[in-house]
């Protein structure tokens, strides 16, 4: 019986394998049961002068949250003395990141030769 080809057993095994595969993949995308409570950081009126990124440090006075992504992270004081220096540093960072992205693409391309 085992040496003969039986299409009914083959179809049954395929259906069982597909059912188990579908059940396993559905469980991968099911929401996880979480019992832990979430915490959130908030800036109360007494902590307005504290950095949001480093709550134990004071917020630099030039980093007031007007720029995108500004959460008061400047532990070494690179922001400078005025707003113009912040804008210059921001432009330099964008320029350097674009050059780094081009270099990351160009380096492997140069190795193909």
pLDDT digits (tens, 9 = 90+) for 52-109: 888 888 888 888 888 887 888 887 888 888 889 888 988 999 999 999 999 999 998 8
Instruction: Enumerate the β-bridge partners of residue 58.
Output: 50
Q: What is the pTM assigned to this prediction?
A: 0.48
**Res 24: pLDDT:** 78
Q: Map residue 58 onto helix, strand or coil.
A: strand
8 Å CB contact between 63 and 72: yes
Residues 42-51: contacts with CB under 8 Å, at least 24 apart: none
8 Å CB contact between 61 and 81: no
User: CA-CA distance, 87 to 51, in Å (whole number)?
Assistant: 20
């Amino acid at each position: 019986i085992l040496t003969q080809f039986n299409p009914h057993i083959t179809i049954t095994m395929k259906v069982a394998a597909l059912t188990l595969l579908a059940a396993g993949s559905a469980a991968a995308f099911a929401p996880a049961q979480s019992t832990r409570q979430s915490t959130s950081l908030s800036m109360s009126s007494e902590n307005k002068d504290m950095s949001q990124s480093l709550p134990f440090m004071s917020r630099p006075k030039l980093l007031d949250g007007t720029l995108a992504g500004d959460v008061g992270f400047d532990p070494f004081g690179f922001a400078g003395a005025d707003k113009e220096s912040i804008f210059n540093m921001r432009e330099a960072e964008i320029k350097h990141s674009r050059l780094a992205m081009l270099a990351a693409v160009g380096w492997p391309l140069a190795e193909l030769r």
